[in-house]
Amino acid sequence: MELTRVIVILAQCVWPSWTQFIHLTDMYGTIKSPNFPESYPKEIDLQWNITVPEGYQIRLYFMHFDIEPSYLCEYDYLKVYSDTEELAVFCGKENTDTEQVPAGDVIMSPRNVLSVAFRSDFSNEERYSGFEAHFSAIDVDECRDRNDEDLACDHFCHNYISGFYCSCRYGFLLHSDNRTCKVECNESVYTERSGVITSADFPKPYPKSSDCMYRIELEEGFQITLEFDDTFDIEDHPEVTCPYDFIKINAGDKEFGPLCGEQSPGKIQTGSNAVSVLFHSDNSGENLGWKLTYTSTGSECSPLAAPLNGHLEPLQSNYVFKDHIMLTCDPGYSLRQGDKEFEHYQIECQRDGKWSSDVLLCKKKEFQRRHRSLPSILTNQILS
């Protein structure tokens, strides 16, 4: 008998076997072997293809299972698979070293399709009653089951029947992929002489799919220095220079970058009063970002000496663009410029490194000279 079975099996490898397909699209249902609960026929090749809407999985479980046992289920068997992925192969009446039965197991499809294939060979030496199985569509909780990175939301995930949607924290916008949260960061202009700039959320991972432009704009006469923090983490590549995320810096006719990786660029002397910092991120990665402090220095003016009988405030060793000096004189003296007289006078260090005016001289006040000559004038009047 076994020899006959082997010959028939070999013959079936040569001659094509016709499979009967049954397509099921209901949200739940029952699958039974032919004639169940009576013995199933010989030479059966049936396949149930179950399809439910996207956003659902399929749950399959068995209420009864009795199929002819054989080594590694070579004769009669039931196979469960999703697309081309085989999920299980069953035969027999109880588990052995070489055969498995579903027992109380629940099979979950990874996607919204599931196929159940049942095959019996040319003989059925005993009475095997077959199987009865139930299936039902189960809503996928995409917010909980994030096995596929493409399904993950950057910030908040909201599940609903047969689907999900993403939303972002305040200050972020949802990207066109409806999953990624990006930032609007192209209106950042810094006009103070010093300040701090960071990637969004630093030192937490920066947003994906964003292009941020930070502009530092100071008056001509200032030169900007950038100094990056030691914590510097931008996605890079071991063989290609910054293909994913990067910083590019433009300062006048100079360009610095692209910059990425984990090594801080440290201090950068831009030599310019206007600097643009572009930060680009692609749609992947969980890097911490960057922080920089910018400072500025102005053009230097030559030190000044106080005039005779006068003072300078403040008195310091060096002066730079926008510094002011107040000139004053000792009591009884005033500052003179031509025929004009001042109690105090202010001069400024200009962007070209020159002072706005020369230091004025302190001269005795005019009314004091007239007061001292008054006795002689009266004496002359009496004598006359």
Please state the separation of Cα 105 from the chain's center in Å.
Answer: 41
The 3-state DSSP class for residue 150 equals helix
Sheet with strand 254-259: strands edge to edge: 188-190, 210-217, 274-281, 246-251, 254-259
CATH superfamily to which 20-139 belongs: Spermadhesin, CUB domain (2.60.120.290)
Return the CATH architecture of domain 300-364: Ribbon (2.10)
Structure tokens, 381: 């009047």
Closest to 274 (Cα-Cα) out of 259, 248, 296: 296
User: How confident is the prediction along the chain (384 residues), in pLDDT tens digits per residue?
Assistant: 444 344 333 334 433 458 899 999 999 999 999 999 999 999 999 999 999 998 899 999 999 999 999 999 999 999 999 988 999 999 999 999 889 999 889 999 999 999 999 999 988 778 899 999 999 999 988 888 665 555 678 889 998 888 889 999 888 889 888 988 888 887 789 999 999 999 998 999 999 999 999 999 999 889 999 999 999 999 999 999 999 999 999 999 999 999 999 999 999 999 999 999 999 999 888 899 999 999 999 888 998 999 999 999 998 888 988 899 999 999 999 998 888 889 999 999 998 889 999 999 999 986 544 444 445 444 444 444
Decide yes or no: CATH 3.40.50.2300 for domain 141-182: no
pLDDT over 90 percentage in the chain: 64
CA angle 171, 200, 283 (to 5 degrees): 90
**Domains 20-139 and 185-298 belong to one CATH topology:** yes
Closest to 115 (Cα-Cα) out of 64, 67, 75, 58: 58
What is the C-alpha separation between 205 and 233, in angstroms, rounded? 9
Structural domain spans, the chain: 20-139, 141-182, 185-298, 300-364
CATH superfamily to which 185-298 belongs: Spermadhesin, CUB domain (2.60.120.290)
Helices (H), the chain: 2-14, 366-383
Cis bond before residue 307 (omega within 30° of 0): no
